[in-house]
Amino acid sequence: MQKYKSTYFLTGLLLIPMLIVGYYFLATNSGKSGLASVEAKGKSKWQKMLERNGVDQTFWSKYLPKISHKEYKKAVKKYQASKYVPSSIVYGDGSSAYALHKNIATTYFWAGEDASGDNYGISNNSSCWDENWDQHCKSENPFYFALPYNDLDDNGNRKAEALKIIPWANEKNWSDSESICKNRWIKIIHDGKTAYAQWEDAGPCDDAGGCGENDKSYVFGTAAPQFKVGLDVSPAVKNQLGLDDEDRTDWQFIDEKDVPDGPWKQVVTRSGLNWN
């Protein structure tokens, strides 16, 4: 009997480490298997939309497997607010550098472009800052662009947030007849080529027919664009960079004093707001 007791005791000692290892394996892999099962079922439409808006997996996984439209909008807003970082970084010596937005989906447009399926039925005869843009642009800089933000609301009043989030807003006192955004410069990079352009409209538009004018977390921060396309450029910019109709570019705000000479400086747009 003593012999058997010794055998049982030794067997128990050997089993204890095995049980501990087995428990650890199950504990550390249970979360992975749960996520894998969710992935195996396929992604919901809300999950895909969260991903398209740059919401990472660790954030949207909390909202699986189901999420309402209201919850989706709330989740994206909360996430983008948490990721908002001003695009202007001020260093100790007083110099500054704007964030570089990389690999942004880019299309082209032009002042005077008629409404069609290519621009979701929205005419470009006017811009968000100039009702007669198609006429005035003939004597202005042909190197221009549109980003999805407007510092003015639908009534032409300055948005309360504008003076806080736009990096150069404190350069001067802005009158009610001025836009803080209009005529601002950006640097655009594609395939080793560089062009410079001025901000003359808000957009691009999305496939539902709406135009972006409030995407501050992308334009002045580091979030991904809310819409599929994040930058619209003029034909002059498109040709200078050799862009396809739909392409990818990097872009960055730049102060006018730092813009080098080139075809983009032959005519510099200085016009202000024009609303009848």
pLDDT digits (tens, 9 = 90+) for 65-112: 556 666 666 666 565 555 555 555 443 344 446 889 999 999 998 887
Q: Are residues 56 and 140 in the same domain?
A: no
- The CATH number of the domain holding residue 258 is 2.40.40.10
Measured distance CA(122)–CA(129) in Å, rounded: 15
Domain assignment present for residue 253? The answer is yes
Instruction: Give the CA distances from residue 2 to residues 6, 74, 111, 154, in Å, rounded to whole numbers and listed in that order.
Output: 6, 69, 98, 92
Domain assignment present for residue 272? The answer is no
Q: Are residues 124 and 4 in the same domain?
A: no
Q: What does the pLDDT look like over 127-157, one tens digit per residue?
A: 889 988 888 889 999 999 999 999 999 899 9
Domain assignment present for residue 271? The answer is no
Entry pTM: 0.66
Mean local confidence (pLDDT), 272-276:
81
Measured distance CA(55)–CA(72) in Å, rounded: 11
Number of H helices, E strands in the chain: 8, 8
Q: Please say if the pLDDT value at position 189 is more than 90.
A: yes
Domain assignment present for residue 174? The answer is yes
Q: Please say if the pLDDT value at position 274 is more than 80.
A: yes
Supply the pLDDT for residue 36.
39
Average of per-residue pLDDT values in the chain: 76
Q: Are residues 163 and 30 in the same domain?
A: no
Single-letter residue type at 33: S
Measured distance CA(136)–CA(142) in Å, rounded: 11
Domain assignment present for residue 75? The answer is yes
In the chain, how many domains are there? 3
Range in 87-101, 195-209, 211-225, 253-267 the model is least confident about: 87-101
Q: Are residues 68 and 185 in the same domain?
A: no
Domain assignment present for residue 168? The answer is yes
Buried b (16+ CB within 10 A) or exposed e, 127-160: bbbbeebbebbeebbbbbbbbbbbbbeeeeebbe
Helices 69-83, 45-52: inter-axial angle, 10-degree rounding? 20
Q: Please say if the pLDDT value at position 24 is more than 50.
A: no
Domain assignment present for residue 270? The answer is no
Q: Are residues 16 and 78 in the same domain?
A: no
Name the domain boundary from 21, 51, 83. 83
Range in 64-68, 160-164, 189-193 the model is least confident about: 64-68
More confident residue, 212 or 183: 183
Q: State the residue range of the domain holding 27.
A: 1-41
